């Protein structure tokens, strides 16, 4: 084990925040299959997202199709109503994925989930989609969060 890996393991063992696999529900992945979802930091579930902070989202998925592009579409679902949620970068090809996307390959989509200070303290469900060239979901996931002060 090299020094860098040892340091990461030590920090995790000391109880500091590490990415935790998040319980999610697939909401219609048509062109791919989700393997795992990590949100960092997320010590408990549902993830408690503190106002004014950003959270790392890492979705590992396999693709069933070829696609030149990938576009993220995110909604906060409040009382069953999807509300568009802006993120800094919607281009999946600039979020850890080397495009073009190839079938039968595994990819790590990495992005930030910023929580603005003006957001209300509320429980909601995040619906995160990554769409291919044909606007079909490479993945579509739902996961609960709670915005806290």
Full-model pTM: 0.84
The confidence score (pLDDT) of residue 86 equals 87
The confidence score (pLDDT) of residue 88 equals 85
Coil, strand or helix at 98: coil
The confidence score (pLDDT) of residue 19 equals 55
The confidence score (pLDDT) of residue 14 equals 35
Query: CATH 2.60.40.770: does it fit domain 18-148?
Result: yes
**Digits of tens for pLDDT over the chain (149 positions)?**
433 333 333 333 333 345 568 999 999 999 999 999 999 999 899 999 999 999 999 999 999 999 999 999 999 999 999 999 988 899 999 999 999 999 999 999 999 999 999 999 999 999 999 999 999 999 999 999 999 99
The confidence score (pLDDT) of residue 105 equals 97
The confidence score (pLDDT) of residue 7 equals 32
Among 30, 41, 122, 133, residue whose Cα is nearest residue 85 = 122
Render 1-52 in DSSP notation, one character per residue: --HHHHHHHHHHHTT----EEPP-EE----SEEEEEEEEES--SSSEEEETT
- For residues 42 and 12, give the distance between their C-alpha atoms in angstroms, rounded to a whole number: 13
């Amino acid at each position: 084990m090299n020094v860098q890996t040892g340091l990461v393991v030590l920090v995790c063992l000391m109880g500091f925040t590490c990415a935790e696999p998040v319980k999610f529900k697939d909401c219609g992945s048509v062109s791919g299959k989700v393997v795992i979802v990590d949100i960092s930091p997320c010590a408990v579930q549902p993830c408690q997202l503190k106002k004014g902070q950003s959270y790392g989202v890492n979705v590992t998925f396999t693709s069933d199709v070829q696609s030149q592009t990938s576009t993220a579409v995110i909604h906060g679902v409040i009382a069953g109503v999807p509300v568009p949620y802006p993120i800094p970068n919607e281009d999946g090809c600039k979020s850890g994925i080397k495009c073009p996307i190839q079938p039968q390959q595994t990819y790590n989509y990495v992005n930030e989930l910023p929580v603005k200070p003006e957001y209300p303290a509320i429980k909601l469900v995040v619906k995160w989609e990554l769409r291919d060239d044909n606007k079909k979901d490479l993945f579509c996931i739902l996961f609960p969060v709670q915005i806290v002060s």
